[in-house]
């Protein structure tokens, strides 16, 4: 799982994971609203003061990894191989980011189970998935010269979000391991990437699109596509805040 950082006074990652594991168990057993920070602290054998060294609130315990995952997806997209077809680059980036948060203990998976069964977390879940899908749409837009709100970029973001959720729900229902879940997701993305890439190619071939900037990696030279950090300026995606 991605480490939040090693700032002075911040607890080690393994301790955070142990608290999250226990807290999510309590949320699933007793309900999110009915589980207090004090109850989490008692179950973990720590004080409330120690809890607040890890998390600023109860909700942060649920969302911080999701926030990290969105940022990791954006970072992976920004560093994707520009010579790959759009969907191949997205698939690679999404799997890289997912592999960074899908822990062997299954906490990432259980977090999805919690979100799926907790009405009071639905609004936050929708907002986070929207931010993730928009990161995908922005990447498609940057690679094609379209706008993120145009049909094809929006469709790609929405389709991948739906496929991701469906894959996780199916894996959760069958009790698959994190490794099995990652393999399932990759196979799913491989399947839907083909028709989505075809949509991108068809959009690019439309007469009214022919004057737009070509796909990155086709005819544009390195001097035109790379900034000082090696990332194409028009591909540098703004992070979700």
pLDDT recorded at residue 208: 67
What is the percentage of the chain residues whose pLDDT exceeds 90? 62
Q: Report pTM.
A: 0.78
pLDDT digits (tens, 9 = 90+) for 138-185: 999 999 999 999 999 999 999 999 999 998 888 888 888 888 989 999
Give the C-alpha separation, 31 to 38, whole Å.
14
pLDDT digits (tens, 9 = 90+) for 8-62: 444 444 488 889 999 999 999 999 999 999 999 999 999 999 999 999 999 999 9
Q: Which residues contact 167 (CB under 8 A, 6 or more apart)?
A: 181, 184, 185, 188
pLDDT recorded at residue 219: 27
Phi-psi bin for 69: left (phi > 0), alpha (psi -120 to 50), beta? alpha
Q: Which residues contact 168 (CB under 8 A, 6 or more apart)?
A: 109, 112, 181, 185
Which tokens go with 213? 């900037």
Has residue 231 got a pLDDT over 50? no
pLDDT recorded at residue 74: 97
pLDDT recorded at residue 97: 95
Give the C-alpha separation, 232 to 214, whole Å.
13
Count the alpha carbons within 13 Å of 52 in the hemisphere toward its beta carbon: 5
Give the C-alpha separation, 80 to 77, whole Å.
5
Give the C-alpha separation, 62 to 66, whole Å.
8
Q: Chain-wide mean pLDDT for the chain?
A: 83
Q: Which residues contact 132 (CB under 8 A, 6 or more apart)?
A: 69, 70, 73, 161
Give the C-alpha separation, 152 to 77, whole Å.
17
pLDDT recorded at residue 223: 27
Structural domains of the chain in order of their starting residue, each with its CATH number: 64-235 (1.10.357.10)
SS3 readout for the chain:
CCCCCCCCCCCCHHHHHHHHHHHHHHHHHHCCCCCCHHHHHHHHCCCHHHHHHHCCCHHHHHHHHHHHHHHHHHHHHHCCCCCCCHHHHHHHHHHHHHHHHCCCCCHHHHHHHHHHHCHHHHHHHHHHHHHHHHHHHHHHHHHHCCCCCCHHHHHHHHHHHHHHHHHHHHHHHHCCCHHHHHHHHHHHHHHHHHHHHHHHHHHHHCHHHCCCCCCCCCCCCHHHHCCCCCCCHHHCCCCCC
């Amino acid at each position: 799982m991605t480490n939040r950082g090693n700032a002075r006074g911040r607890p080690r990652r393994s301790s955070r994971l142990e608290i999250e594991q226990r807290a999510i168990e309590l949320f699933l057993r007793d309900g999110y609203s009915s589980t207090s920070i004090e109850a989490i602290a008692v179950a973990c054998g720590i004080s409330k003061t120690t809890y607040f060294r890890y998390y600023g609130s109860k909700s942060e315990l649920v969302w911080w990894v999701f926030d990290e995952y969105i940022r990791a997806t954006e970072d992976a997209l920004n560093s994707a191989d520009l010579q790959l077809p759009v969907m191949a680059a997205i698939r690679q980036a999404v799997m890289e980011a997912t592999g960074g948060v899908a822990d062997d203990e299954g906490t990432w998976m259980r977090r999805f189970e919690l979100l799926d069964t907790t009405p009071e977390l639905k609004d936050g879940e929708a907002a986070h998935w929207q931010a993730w899908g928009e990161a995908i749409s922005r990447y498609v837009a940057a690679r094609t010269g379209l706008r993120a709100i145009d049909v094809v970029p929006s469709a790609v973001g929405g389709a991948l979000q739906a496929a991701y959720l469906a894959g996780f729900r199916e894996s959760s229902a069958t009790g698959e391991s994190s490794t099995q879940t990652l393999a399932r997701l990759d196979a799913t993305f491989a399947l839907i990437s083909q028709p989505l890439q075809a949509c991108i190619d068809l959009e690019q071939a439309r007469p009214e699109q022919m004057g737009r900037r070509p796909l990155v990696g086709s005819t544009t030279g390195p001097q035109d596509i790379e900034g000082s950090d090696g990332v194409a300026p028009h591909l540098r995606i703004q992070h979700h805040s």
